[in-house]
Structures are given as C-alpha cells and as structure tokens.
Amino acid sequence: MFSEQENCIHSHLFHKYPYAAFIIEDNVIVNCNQAAMSLFGFYEKKQLIGLHLYDLCPLVQKDGQLSKNKLEKQLSQSHERNEERFIWTHKKSNGEKFNAEIILISEIFADREIKIATVRDIKDKTILINDLDTQNINFEQLFNSFPSAVAIINNNLEILNINKCFKELFQYSHEEIIKNNIKELLSLDLFDTKLWDIKERIYNQDTICDVKTVCRRKSGNFVDISFSMYPIIHDNVHIGNYAVCTDITELRKREEKIRFLSHRDTLTRLYNKDYFINHVRDQITNLENIHSSNVKMGVLLLDINDFNSINDNLGYNIGDIFLKIIAERLKEHIGNKGIVSKFGGDEFIILVYNIENRRQLVRLGRDILKIFDKPFTINRYDFFVTCSIGISMYPHHGDNSHDLIKSADIAVQKAKKYNGNKVVIYNYKLNQDVTEKFLIDSYLRYAIENNELYLNYQPILDAQSERITGLEALVRWHSSEIGYVPPNKFIPISEGNGMVLPIGEWVIKNACMQLKKWNDMGYKEIFLSINVSIKQLEQKNFADFVIRTTSKLRLNPTNIVLEITESVYMENLERIYRNLKKLNKFGIQISIDDFGTGYSSLGQLSKLEISKLKIDKSFIKELHINSNNAKIVTAIIVMAKSLNLSIVAEGVEESEHTVFLKKAGCDMLQGFLYSRPVSAEKIKQLLKKGTLSQSAEKE
C-alpha cells in the first residue's frame, strides 16, 4: 500500500511540480525531484538521498544546538498542524547560502510519518520585504515631519491616522481624533458640493478638492487653512485619501496687506487708478440692481497746471510733498461724500455719491478750486498753483466707468485751455471736438500717400499798380474719408504728430515746381512765399534741402520767400540761426509773418537780414475805424522803411484799407478784396490779366 501511494506522490512531484520537492522520513531525505537537484547544485539524485536535513542547514552547523532545536520545533509543528510554512536558510553543494520558503506537509502512511517538503528560493522576495520595511520607515518619518497637517482618511471621511503637525494644528491627541469624521473639523460642508466629485477625480488621479476655508480647533477657536484632499489609489482602486491642512493665517494677513497696498497710490496713500475704475463699476452695478433712475453720481478729474515747473525748479522731493498736501486737502474736503483717488502723475479723480443735479457738481468743483487759493508753503518756499477740473455725471455722460472717466477727461482738456482755475462740465460738443481731432490725426498720416494734399495760391499785389508781384502758397487737404479739412485744424495737429515735416517738404517741392512752370510761361519776376514751421527750421538739413530743391529746378533764389512766424522766430532764434543764415547767403529771402503779434527786436531783424515784414491782419481789419490800429500800422511801416524792409499787408478786405495803406507807404497788399486763395490754373488766368481790380476775384 505504501509503495503504491509513494509511487503516486513521486509521479506528482517529479513530473508536475516546478519547485524543489523532497520526501523525508525521520528527517532524512529518501527521495527528491529534478528541481531539488538543480536548486542545491547536485548532479545525481543519490548525492541527496540519505542526507539529513541538518546537512543542508548551515545555521545548525554554525549555531549548534540552538538552531537544531529551532528546526526540530518547526518539524514537529508540521506534525501537529499537518502543514507548516516557514523561511529557513539553506546551503547548496558549493557552500552558497540562500533563503528559502519551506512548505512542510506531514502525512501518515502505514503508521509511518512521511514529510513532503517543497523548497523555494525567496531571494528577491526577501529584498522586496526589506525594501518595503525601509519604505515604511521612511514614510513614517516623512509623514510625521511633514510641515503641514496630514490625515489619512477612508472613503467615509473617517480619520485613520494623523501626523504630528495635525495634532498641533487641531490641538487633538491621536486617540481623541481617530475614527472622527474630518467634516466635523471644517466650517463649511465641502463634501456636499461639486468639489466632491470623486469618480471623475479618481479616474484622473487628481486632487479631490482644494479650497481655502477655516477649521475649528479643540479649543473652539477658528484658524484659516488651505484644505486639499488627494486620493490613495492601489491597483486602480480608490482605497482612501490624504487630507492636507495648511495654516494660512499669516498668509491671509499678508494677502490682506498686499491687497490693501495694491489698491493704494504709494506716494499719497489715496486709492489708485485701478481701484477707482473698479469702484465706479461696482457702484453702477449696485444702482442698476436696485433699478434706481433718480440716484446720480459725479466724477471730477483734477489736473494740476504747470506741475512740472515745481519739479523742475524746486526738485522732485518738493513736488512729492506738494502732492501729499493736495491729497490731504481733497480727502478732508470730500469726507464721506465720495472717494478721492490719485489718477496720474499730477491728476486726482473724485467720485461723488448721491448727486441731485449738474449745478451741485459744478458748485463742488468751484469749492475745490478754492483749495488752491491759499499759497503752498514747503521748506520755506511759498508758491501758488492753479487747477483745471473736468466733470461728468452718471448716467447722463456715460453708463460705465470707462465712458464716465473719458467724458471727465475731455472736459478737463477743455478747462486747461483757460490756463487754470476753470471748471468745465462735459457736453456732447466737447466729444465731437475730440473725435474730430482724433480722426484728423489718424487720416492725416496717409494724406501724402493718398494724394489728398493740394496747393492754392493767393496773389500779392504791388500797392501802387495793383499788379501781381508775388504769390503765397497755401496747403489744403481733402480727405477721402472725412472730406475737406481747414488748414487751421490740420496744421496744428501736424505740428503735434510730426507730420509737419513730410507735409512741409511736400509743399516746398510742389510749390517750387509750380513756380518753375510759371517761369517757363514768361512770369520770371514774381516771387513765391512759402510758410515754414519751427519744426522744419530746427532740422539740421533744412537749408540744404531748400537749396537743393531750388537749384535742381534752376529757380532764381531771390524769388523764393520763406515766411516764419514772429513769435516762433524770436523764441527759437539761436536754434534756427544757422539755417536762416545759410539760406540768406544763397539768396533766399526771409519774411516775418504775422508781424506785430510777437516780441521782435530791431537787433534780431537786422542780424538775420530779414527782407520782408507781413503786418498781421488783426491790425488791418479795423484800420479805417480804430485809430490805435492805424497808429500801429503806420509805425510798423515807418520802422520797416528805416531798415530797408519791404512791407506786405495781409487781410485787406475793404477799399478803405487800400486807401490808407497806399497813403502810408505800404509796398504790397494781400487779401480777399483782390482774391481768395485759388488753384494754379486760376492763377494762370490772373497772371494774364496782370492787374486785379478790387473785388474782382472774391468768389
């Protein structure tokens, strides 16, 4: 019977089992499989059969009776339990030691105890266990030293474990907090919101929730925290969560301070521009929510006139102190009626609540102007400063913060033209002016490219014969987008946007080419007057450009007259001196335009060899009815004669003007009485006539 059973076991062990297997009787090996020979390094089965288990156990050989007793205990336990599983150190035939997992099964055959032992090398498993032990130790150290409060919770939000920082933050011991629901520590129910969308977050292995809230300590006090939860995933199964709480009390304080400072001007500590804009927007939203049509608000934009002169003359430190004083005076004056904000370098802006009408705003603006009546005394300096104020009102001048501020800005620009101490409330006409200026500025930049500029010419007559002796070239602009634009609108804008330089060159080139055509027609004695700006005269190569242009066309330089404004000429004499001297030397004549309105000196007139003076039309207009104008014109003519200068009177519109000017000895006449500015083709017809009768070409 035994033999049959043994054969059955042999068949099972040797032919199917992949690990080393032994049959042991009285702790002696009686049989083994091929895997056993391979594991222990034996080539023949007979080398193993007959060995005592102690022969394969180096610990028994080394430690003696102690290890022998331990092994015998394991063997006896297999008898009591029928199966024993344990780990033991074995020795191969070459003496190499290895750890093995032993499964020992005891069976009774014919009253004989037979043990079946399987031996499996667990070298990799031992390393893994050691690594896991090390990782667990490292995790415990990290968990307890982590600077934030961390709790491990299950999917029912019950706390399973906490670290040291968690105990300190919440003031609970480990025993007091374990098995409690973490929701009880938080002041708002995060987990009934969409933040607790576990399925999607777990699928993405993402943070379940991440919010700022407050928690309740054991003492009952609350503390600001940043609360985050992260899923614990094992084998793609959500088995729990890490709950991380970070104390952000100090951070909140710093954020509040930063938020406060971000809303304030660093110098005056008034509200800054961004805060003001947002505050106006919020106030409008509140009014819209309560559907109030009777409540109005006002915006007052203040611009300090000539503030830069304080910085330039007294220093920036004095300027800063001055701005602080203004800020304090405005805050005191406005009180709780509104808010005051620093809007720009020298600008302040005020929002006033609960305004009844425009008159109330204007009255407030005038009261603010009185703040500037008193002198400002800083570091022993006493000085007076004026202010310009522009006003807009909600909802009449804008239904949003941008439009209200824009309207106030348009109004303050108008107020500044009055040189200070002026309050202007916005109206639609002001906006039209600003829009028109913007359009002119935009389209003027393409005027030359689009061939939109052209020249008209106004005849200048000899006063005695009334024959055409010269022509003044006058630039005109007809925009394809906005139509005809008068020179008094686009020329000042060209000075500001830099277009005066290319436009000025265009005028000189085209006027000289037209003069060449008239010369070729036989009109070689007429002169051509061309207006030039200070911007042109300040260009280093301006004189060279004019000389090159006239030389290329072979024009007589004495027939070219450049007209410069008297006030510009006198203010910038040194900067333009070299250009004018070079032009004089070449033979080009220089004329002073609008004479009598500036601050010329006789020394300057003689220094630059001025050849002509043009009396400003403001003196000619009432020449025949205003004795003072008559005296001024007579004095100018007498002075010019003494300096051998030619005199041109512009603005001649009445026959009485001609009579007076001829009698006073004026050399040339120009004005609507004889002809308006007309095209080159029309001038060709007038040149053929030679003499112009009064009122003949007024159309």
DSSP symbols for 25-37:
ETTEEEEE-HHHH
pLDDT value, residue 600: 53
Q: Please give the average per-residue pLDDT across 7-17, as a whole number.
A: 58
> Is pLDDT larger for residue 289 or for residue 548?
548
Cα–Cα distance for residue pair 501/201, rounded to 1 Å: 66
Q: Please give the average per-residue pLDDT across 93-117, as a whole number.
A: 82
User: What's the one-letter identity of residue 515?
Assistant: L
Q: Where are the beta strands (DSSP E) in 3-155?
A: 20-25, 28-32, 83-91, 97-109, 112-121, 149-153
> Is pLDDT larger for residue 572 or for residue 601?
572
What are the extents of the domains in the chain? 2-121, 128-252, 264-426, 454-689
Write out pLDDT tens, residues 522-576.
Answer: 999 999 999 998 888 888 889 999 999 999 999 999 999 999 875 554 555 677 7
* pLDDT category of residue 335 using cuts at 50, 70 and 90: confident
Write out pLDDT tens, residues 625-680.
Answer: 878 888 888 888 898 888 888 999 999 999 899 999 999 899 999 999 999 999 99
Res 518 pLDDT > 90: yes
Q: Please give the average per-residue pLDDT across 102-130, as a whole number.
A: 74
pLDDT value, residue 207: 55
Res 417 pLDDT > 70: yes
CA–CA–CA angle 656, 662, 667 (5° rounding): 130
pLDDT value, residue 105: 83
* pLDDT category of residue 208 using cuts at 50, 70 and 90: low
Res 66 pLDDT > 60: no
> Is pLDDT larger for residue 176 or for residue 472?
472
pLDDT value, residue 210: 66
Average pLDDT, the chain: 81
> Is pLDDT larger for residue 108 or for residue 22?
22
User: Which of 150-154, 178-182, 497-501, 571-575 bottoms out in mean pLDDT, i.e. has the lowest?
Assistant: 571-575
CB 91 within 8 A of CB 111: no
Assigned CATH topology for domain 264-426:
Alpha-Beta Plaits (3.30.70)
Half-sphere exposure of 276 (CA within 13 A, CB side): 26
What percentage of the chain carries pLDDT values higher than 90?
20
Write out pLDDT tens, residues 250-262.
Answer: 777 776 776 666 7
Write out pLDDT tens, residues 580-594.
Answer: 889 999 999 999 887
b/e per residue 68-77 (b: at least 16 CB within 10 A): bebbeeebee
CA–CA–CA angle 286, 289, 293 (5° rounding): 90
| Greatest pairwise CA separation for the chain in angstroms | 164
* pLDDT category of residue 194 using cuts at 50, 70 and 90: very low
> Is pLDDT larger for residue 263 or for residue 198?
263
Write out pLDDT tens, residues 403-414.
Answer: 898 888 888 888
pLDDT value, residue 198: 44
pLDDT value, residue 588: 94
pLDDT value, residue 642: 85
* pLDDT category of residue 10 using cuts at 50, 70 and 90: low
Res 195 pLDDT > 50: no
Res 2 pLDDT > 50: no
Assigned CATH class of 128-252: alpha beta
Topology agreement, domain 2-121 and domain 128-252? yes
Q: Where are the beta strands (DSSP E) in 235-288?
A: 237-247
CATH of region 2-121: 3.30.450.20
The structure tokens listed for 649 are 């009177």
Assigned CATH topology for domain 454-689:
TIM Barrel (3.20.20)
**Residue 395: is the preceding peptide bond cis (ω within 30°)?**
yes
b/e per residue 518-528 (b: at least 16 CB within 10 A): bbeeebeebbb
pLDDT value, residue 192: 47
pLDDT value, residue 427: 81
> Is pLDDT larger for residue 681 or for residue 136?
681
For 314-323, the CB contacts below 8 A with 24+ separation are 314/378, 314/381, 314/383, 318/378, 318/379, 318/381, 320/267, 321/378, 321/379, 322/376, 322/378, 322/385, 323/267, 323/268
Write out pLDDT tens, residues 354-367.
Answer: 888 888 888 888 99
pLDDT value, residue 698: 47
CB 393 within 8 A of CB 370: no
Write out pLDDT tens, residues 117-175.
Answer: 888 887 756 555 555 555 566 667 677 777 788 888 888 888 888 888 888 888 888 88
